[in-house]
Amino acid sequence: MTLPSHHSDHAARYRERGWWHEGPIPDRLAETAARSPQKIAVIDDTGSLSYSEFDLLVTRAAAGLAAEGIGPGDAIGIQLPNRIAFAVFQQAAVRAGATYLPLLPQLRESELGYLLGVVRAKLLIIPDVCRRFDHRAMVPTLRTAVPSLARILVDGAGGDGCETVADFLAEPHETTHPGSFPAPDADARRLVIFTSGTESKPKAVLHSHATTFFPLDSHARIFEMGPQDVVFTPSPVGHGTGAVFGVELGLHLGGTVVLMDGWDAGRAVRRISETGATMMWGATTFCAELAEAAGPDAPDLSRFRLLLTAGAPIPRDLVRRVRDRIGATLVSAYGQSEGQNITIARPGDPPEKITGSDGRFLEGIEHRLVTPEGKLAAPGTEGEILYRGPNTCLGYLDTAHNADAFTEDGFFRSGDLGVLDGDGYLRIVGRRKEIIIRGGENISPAEVEDLVGRHPQVAEVAVIGLPDDRLGQRACAAVIPRPGAPLTLTDITGFMATLGVAKFKYPERLELVDVIPRTASGKIRRDVLRDQILERSAD
């Protein structure tokens, strides 16, 4: 495969240093299944599979994909909660040489139609019912909206002509051995994930096997991970954190993946104890609530040694509480769709670095912080984060976006603002793209503004993130209403429900205003608006 220019000049060095694999990738799943067939590969809320059982299901699913003509250059969408079936189809796509797209269960027809259409997905896997929503009801709309979809499979009960995952896996195929599938090249596409930028339409980000393996191998080296590890995964697998740093990480290590669907701190403590989990990637709120639930009467958590978190600052006393109540180390990190994991704290880092920064850059990642004028920011001063390295994506599926995203010498413009101290620790101080991060989920203000602005009683709208102790941020809609009946938050959220929009994108606060502050060119002054609303709250 021909690499994009920002990688082609450096690929040889990445491979020489061991940061990238070269040539066909090894089938680690098949290797682990051959070496440790009875070892537990994956556990969810309903049961578990050994590596031999899991490998067999993956092979059957991959054979089914191949029979549909799905292979290199094709994509499948997986919209499932944290279930074993997600891991099966994720690894089946990889084995068949295709690309997988993780999708949150909260997404509805509006978002799914767009995302699946962009990647021209050939197959989609959905749950039957998830969080009281019947996903099967979306099938007719999706078949029309996404012509590329050859099949839609339901994990669970079918009905009304819906095909099930069980039926798909039971179909006879000639290919029944993992070795029957040609090994994909390390530079080939493995994963596609979507951004949540200020633009209303997310962009499809492409990652290769090599760029996906790099942060996993970095984690294994930094934290001395291996087959002995049990990776607890409460983060949604429809998101990059759960899909990559949960499922992919555990299987890459030859360890065990523990999936928990829906966050509940008390249940998490019990699952960690029952499964002997050793580590977890999760939102800061997860870590705080886990520490609170792990009281004196909590079950044995002695094997649990590591929590990794990103997306929100770590409260100063949380590191101590995690250590004292759980006996684990809590470390901070920074990442984004285009670079996956970029910085991370290390074991033994001073507590003030863990709470006051987002860690240091992974080995192999070159970086710059630049001023708005394009000059290098002085140490200790704010600048936009630019990076180039073996973590960086192949680019966007729509290559027209790449010119603005990358510098001439191949550095990716993150859009995030940070400060780098004299010891090499990065602290995120702002998000130039104004993303709202609610409990680890990204919300695009521009997307929500577009949706709220369709309400007949809304004249103008601006959406901002307001600080929240539990979730980090919550979306607030500032609205100039049209004359007529009073406008309420319930009116807005009810209207968004009719549009088929995920609930986590709903504004959780409504402020009726007379004027929305703007620049001379008409851009919303979100900083000014945020200050005005916070001042109102203080009054």
How many Å apart are CA 266 and CA 289, to the nearest integer?
9
For residue 456, being part of any structural domain is answered with yes
Global confidence as pTM: 0.85
Q: Express each pLDDT in 137-172 by its tens digit.
A: 999 999 999 999 999 999 999 877 789 999 999 998
- Among residues 147, 166, 183, which one ends one of the domains? 183
Domain boundary residue among 138, 153, 183? 183
Domains held by the chain: number: 2
Q: Does residue 138 lie within any of the structural domains? A: yes
Residue 14 lies in a domain: no
Query: pLDDT tens-digit profile of 278-310?
Result: 999 998 888 989 999 998 888 999 999 999 998
Q: Position 224: which residue type?
A: E
Least confident of 75-84, 126-135, 147-156, 200-209: 200-209
Q: DSSP string spanning 27-94?
A: -HHHHHHHH-TTSEEEE-SS-EEEHHHHHHHHHHHHHHHHHTT--TT-EEEE---S-HHHHHHHHHHH
Any domain includes 283 = no
User: How many Cβ atoms are within 10 Å of 203's Cβ, its own excluded?
Assistant: 19
Q: For 406-418, what is the mean pLDDT?
A: 92
pLDDT computed for residue 8 by the predictor? 87
Residue 25 covered by a domain: no
pLDDT band at 363; cut points 50, 70, 90: very high
What value does the mean pLDDT of the chain take? 92
Q: Which of 125, 154, 183 is the last residue of a domain?
A: 183
pLDDT at 119 over 70: yes
Residue 274 lies in a domain: no
- CATH number for position 112: 3.40.50.980
Phi, psi of 164 (to 5 degrees): -110, 160
Grouping H, G, I as helix, E, B as strand and the rest as coil, residue 181 is: coil
Q: Which helix (H) or strand (E) holds 249?
A: helix 249-253
Domain that residue 135 falls in: 51-183
Any domain includes 243: no
Asked whether the beta carbons of 287 and 295 are under 8 A apart, the reply is no
* pLDDT for the residue 318: 87
The model's confidence at residue 522, banded by pLDDT at 50, 70 and 90, is: low
In this structure, is residue 414 part of a structural domain? no
Half-sphere exposure of 122 (CA within 13 A, CB side): 16
CA angle 388–399–6, rounded 5-degree value: 25
Residue with tokens 């995920």, as numbered in its chain:
502
d(CA 424, CA 240): 26
Per-residue confidence (pLDDT) for residue 198, from 0 to 100? 44
pLDDT for residue 383 is more than 80: yes
